């Protein structure tokens, strides 16, 4: 395992050991496409350098393997995210609200919420407030207006993001999900709605990318 400037070369992976210094949080591990053995080796290398672990899209059977290697590794089966922290977090003052349009969007919303929490943010979840029953969102308008950052997770047509952005002054991070019927095209309809919103102050991440939304919200909240 030759050590280079700022990273460790494991042969199959070059672990970025300087990510925390540059970005404020250690390199996260995207698990699909990696063997459980390789995920374990990357995780142990990060822990060796006293860095936190965040493993996204982590399947339950891989977690069962990893928890024998990493004592104290936690897992959220809904979000399919594994995490471990050795360092106490100083929770930032600003509030991040994670809102989902429907219950089917919660797994992606949870990935965003847990990512933001692990990075030291105060998070409030606000689930199932989609535009099919718009009074549900309006009933929480005071909470939404208190947020420093809002993450809106929605499938189908993705309309909730425009509604929330039109109500609040906080920046909104839109997360399209693949929830929806055939012409939803696996989340493309929600993605296009969010990209074409006429409400200013919205940034859109990729389909089902709860991790990216939580990460960006934390950067804003710093």
Strands 53-56 and 74-76: unpaired
Tens of pLDDT, residue by residue over 97-109, are 999 999 999 999 9
Structure tokens that stand for 171 in this block: 């920046």
User: Residues of the chain whose pLDDT is less than 50?
Assistant: 1-2
2: Cβ contacts below 8 Å, ≥ 6 apart: 8, 9
Q: Which residue has the tokens 């797994």?
A: 107
> What is the CA 19 to chain-centroid distance, rounded?
17
The pLDDT assigned to 211 comes to 94
- pLDDT given at position 88: 62
Separation between Cα atoms, residue 175 and residue 55, nearest integer Å:
19
Query: What does residue 109 show for φ and ψ, rounded to 5 degrees?
Result: -60, -40
Indicate the SS3 state at residue 156.
coil
Q: What pLDDT does residue 69 have?
A: 86
Topology of the domain comprising 95-221: Rossmann fold (3.40.50)
Domain extent listing, the chain: 3-84, 95-221
Work out the angle between the directed axes of helices 106-118 and 210-221 (0-180°, nearest 10).
40
**pLDDT given at position 5:** 75
């Amino acid at each position: 395992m030759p050590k280079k400037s700022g990273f460790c070369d494991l042969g199959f992976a070059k672990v970025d050991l300087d990510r925390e210094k540059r970005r404020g949080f250690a390199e996260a591990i995207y698990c699909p496409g990696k063997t459980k053995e390789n995920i374990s080796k990357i995780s142990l290398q990060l822990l060796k350098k006293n860095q936190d672990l965040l493993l996204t899209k982590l399947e339950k059977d891989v977690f069962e393997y990893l928890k024998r290697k990493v004592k104290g590794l936690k897992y959220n089966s809904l979000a399919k995210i594994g995490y471990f922290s050795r360092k106490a977090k100083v929770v930032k003052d600003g509030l991040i609200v994670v809102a989902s349009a429907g219950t089917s969007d919660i797994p992606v919303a949870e990935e965003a919420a847990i990512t933001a929490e692990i990075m030291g943010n105060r998070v409030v979840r606000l689930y199932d407030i989609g535009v099919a029953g718009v009074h549900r969102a309006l009933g929480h308008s005071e909470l939404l207006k208190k947020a420093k950052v809002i993450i809106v997770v929605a499938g189908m047509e993705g309309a909730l993001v425009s509604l929330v952005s039109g109500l609040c002054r906080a920046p909104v991070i839109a997360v399209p999900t693949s929830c929806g019927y055939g012409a939803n095209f696996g989340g493309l309809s929600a993605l296009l709605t969010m990209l074409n919103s006429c409400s200013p102050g919205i940034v859109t991440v990729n389909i089902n990318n709860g991790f990216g939304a939580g990460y960006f919200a934390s950067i804003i909240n710093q």
